[in-house]
């Protein structure tokens, strides 16, 4: 999230009656690129069964100051270092897309915009 961006994520796992033995996981990973950005995560697990395995979680991170310093000490501008770190983070997410066509589209978009 950049600048004054605001985001709310509502993730719900709903274990209906008859779903005994089911598993579900909801996760969100955030990167804050501004002190003014606001992230809200609202996880919810609904459960009508006893024998289910449900997990939810969220992480919020910022670009590492040590890595920024390392890059700048080697002549890389702050802007380029930020761009490199964001690109690396986004590529790791894109690699998880199972559909080759969609993954290729996302990777092309990232190459053009970052």
Tens digits of per-residue pLDDT, 89-104? 888 889 999 999 999 9
CA neighbours within 13 Å on the CB side: how many for 43?
14
Q: Is the pLDDT of residue 2 over 90?
A: no
For 21, 28, 36, 102, 110, the CA distances from 59, given in Å and listed in that order, are 27, 6, 17, 25, 22
Confirm whether pTM is higher than 0.75.
no
- State mean pLDDT over 21-38: 90
Instruction: Please return the burial class of 15, using the count of CB atoms within 10 Å of its CB with bins 0-12, 13-18 and 19+.
Output: buried
pLDDT in tens, 43-89: 999 999 989 999 998 888 888 888 888 889 999 998 898 888 888 88
């Amino acid at each position: 999230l950049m600048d004054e961006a605001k985001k709310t994520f509502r993730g719900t796992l709903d274990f209906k009656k008859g779903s005994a033995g089911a598993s579900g996981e909801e996760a969100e990973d955030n990167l804050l690129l501004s002190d003014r950005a606001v992230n809200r995560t609202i996880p919810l697990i609904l459960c009508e069964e006893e024998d289910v395995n449900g997990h939810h979680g969220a992480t919020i991170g910022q670009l590492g100051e040590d890595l920024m310093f390392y890059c700048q000490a080697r002549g890389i501008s702050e802007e380029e270092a930020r761009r490199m770190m964001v690109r690396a983070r986004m590529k790791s997410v894109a690699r998880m897309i199972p559909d080759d066509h969609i993954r290729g589209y996302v990777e092309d978009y990232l190459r053009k915009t970052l």
